[in-house]
Structure 1
Amino acid sequence: MKVFLPPTSYEYVTVHKVQDHDVATASDVLAVEEPLEIRIGFGPTGQREYRTLSITMRTPGHDFELAAGFLLTEGIIRTRQELHGVIYCPDVEKEEERENVVRAELAPTAMPDLPRLERHFYTSSSCGVCGKTSIDAVHASSCPMLPTNGPYVHPDVIHQLPAKQRAAQALFEQTGGLHAAALFSPEGDLLLLREDVGRHNALDKVIGAALLQEWLPLHEHVLLVSGRVSFELVQKAAVAGIAVLAAVGAPSSLAVSAARDFGMTVCGFVRQNRYNVYCHEWRLRLPTTDSPTTH
């Protein structure tokens, strides 16, 4: 899978490499981190309103997908038809900032929930909202029901995902400093991958790309993320209709609680030919297991 690296997504720097008592000057590559301001335009033709929705720190590249995915996973839009398009905002004063501000134009008939524009987003593990309230809010606002008849994934397929994801991470290979989110078929074929300094941004880029290509809902796909699994990632995956979420790292307690309620299969610590299944293991059709042991 060939991956295009935008030149704005990385930069070269001079470093001093220290090994034991030896010091040498060398060139290194860093992943770029810059703010992206997401604005929206909404309302009937001739009566459009414009507002800033969010500012997120991201790696430049696939910015329109990031904005589209963010709008969907935060419940601002529900379908591709509600989004007319995304552009770099033309009325930014400083030229150097123009590619750091995007504007999503909603369809004239799409009216966003204005109170949600006041930044009622669950973007932090310290947001102060209790777990049950968070899950109920996502259910009520934007989360569709996940399928109860699949997809079914062979347990061995999960083992293969990290190596396939890593092989396609061109920017990580150069910088070592990025998260990735990747969509696979139930048979383990890599379909789509995006990288970013932020875990949630990488997933929003994947979901945004799928939204713009009209793939949603992603019921017949498996998602792999490169880090741990937070409640936010489970919520975003559920909104996109993803029923199987695997991760190289561990899930949080709230992530597992949400996944149980949403009907999502969650696998963690997928590495070194092992993994844990935290809920809805029936999609993997695992062999009969012994009773759990305590340590």
Structure 2
Amino acid sequence: METPISSKTKTQIFVVENGKQRLRQDYLTTEEPLEIRLVFPHRTIAVTMRTPGADFALAAGFLYSEGLISSKADIQRISYCVDKSIDGQQNYNIVNVELRTGLFADLQSLERHFYINSACGVCGKASIEALQLRGCRVVEEEMIITPEVIYSLPDQLRAAQGVFTATGGLHAAAVFDTQGRLLNLQEDVGRHNALDKLIGTALLSGELPFHHHLVMVSGRSSFEILQKSIVARVPIVCSVSAPSSLAVSLAQEFGITLIGFLRGEKFNIYAGSERIHLA
């Protein structure tokens, strides 16, 4: 059973227009913390601010993209915390993950990854080397996509964003096939959470890796977006804004086609132009 917490929250606001104010009801994107715990060893491995919904997929996607699991079979069970000693009732902001017997997550590797992502003095080269040490390989899938397929992605993404339409304050991650058909979309207050939900959903349904697929995210492509895409074996990553410098370096190092500023019939290719069929 997934969380009953709504992804939208009602509020009263004052709208000021032409020097006059009026009161009306509006919707905000719900933002709540999600704590991801391992049952054994009993340990909290992450706390993220997220939009409720697809919490089990978010947990599974996080574990997969961070290298703690390698397949759906590594997960024995995912459930919400039922420890009533915490607040006296069912807690839908804590997810317990029980890994299969005999699997011991490399938590030291996870800690090293977090250190690399948060330490100001650690360079981009160290971040790339950390992924290589985890065994992440170059994405070598051969596929050729026409610009017309790329052009079609933003409108499909926006049309499928139900919560964004209501609140105007949510990111999305979507996966498409080589013909540009939308296969799945997930929304969250954070881009990386939306991508974890997307990857986790595919993991739990046996649809990973994302060979011969395209992924598009709203906003920009960051290191985290590329890192998760590499683990999910995504050949082409698109975004509506510019990528970061480290995202470009990752794309170049791991063979990902990286597209940014995808708006209308125009986009920039930052890496992997060989997958785009150009006249």
Shared fold by TM > 0.5?
yes
Question: Residue deviations 1:242-282, cap 9 Å, x none?
Answer: 01000001001110011001100000000121100111111
CA distance in 2, matches of 1:120, 1:277: 28
Paired residues of 2:157 and 2:174 also in contact (CA < 8 A): yes
Q: How many pairs are equivalent?
A: 276
State the secondary structure of the residue aligned to 2:180. Answer: coil
Is 1:139 aligned with 2:132?
A: yes
1:219 Cα shift?
1.1
1:190 to 182, 188, 195: 182
1:101 Cα shift?
0.0
CA distance in 2, matches of 1:12, 1:226: 24
CA distance in 1, matches of 2:116, 2:130: 14
CA distance in 2, matches of 1:36, 1:255: 26
CA distance in 2, matches of 1:124, 1:130: 10
Aligned position for 1:293: none
2:211 to 209, 219, 224: 219
1:87–1:135 CA distance, 2 compared to 1 (3 A):
same
1:126–1:170 CA distance, 2 compared to 1 (3 A):
farther
Aligned partner of 2:262: which letter? V
2:33 to 1, 20, 35: 35
State the secondary structure of the residue aligned to 1:88. Answer: strand
Give the CA RMSD over aligned residues: 1.8
Aligned partner of 2:129: which letter? D
CA distance in 1, matches of 2:19, 2:228: 48
1:90-109 matches, cutoff 5 A:
90-92=82-84, 93-95=86-88, 98-109=91-102
Paired residues of 2:139 and 2:234 also in contact (CA < 8 A): yes
CA distance in 2, matches of 1:139, 1:95: 44
1:1-295 matches, cutoff 5 A:
8-42=6-40, 49-92=41-84, 93-95=86-88, 98-118=91-111, 120-121=113-114, 124=117, 127-148=120-141, 150-287=142-279
CA distance in 2, matches of 1:238, 1:198: 19
CA distance in 1, matches of 2:198, 2:7: 17
Paired residues of 1:35 and 1:58 also in contact (CA < 8 A): yes
Unaligned runs of 5+ in 1: 43-48, 288-295
Paired residues of 1:151 and 1:219 also in contact (CA < 8 A): no
Which stretch of the first structure deviates more once superposed, 216-225 or 77-86?
77-86
State the secondary structure of the residue aligned to 2:278. Answer: coil
1:128–1:62 CA distance, 2 compared to 1 (3 A):
farther
1:128–1:106 CA distance, 2 compared to 1 (3 A):
farther
CA distance in 1, matches of 2:207, 2:116: 25
Aligned position for 1:292: none
Paired residues of 2:75 and 2:97 also in contact (CA < 8 A): yes
Question: Residue deviations 1:142-167, cap 9 Å, x none?
Answer: 5233124x222111100000000000
Paired residues of 2:55 and 2:197 also in contact (CA < 8 A): yes
CA distance in 2, matches of 1:221, 1:271: 20
CA distance in 1, matches of 2:112, 2:63: 12
Unaligned runs of 5+ in 2: none
Paired residues of 2:36 and 2:59 also in contact (CA < 8 A): yes
- TM-score w.r.t. structure 1 length? 0.89
1:186–1:127 CA distance, 2 compared to 1 (3 A):
farther
Question: Residue deviations 1:209-245, cap 9 Å, x none?
Answer: 0110111111111000011010110000110010100
CA distance in 2, matches of 1:27, 1:123: 43
Paired residues of 2:177 and 2:214 also in contact (CA < 8 A): yes
1:110 Cα shift?
1.3
CA distance in 1, matches of 2:83, 2:188: 26
1:118–1:266 CA distance, 2 compared to 1 (3 A):
closer
- TM-score w.r.t. structure 2 length? 0.94
Paired residues of 1:147 and 1:219 also in contact (CA < 8 A): no
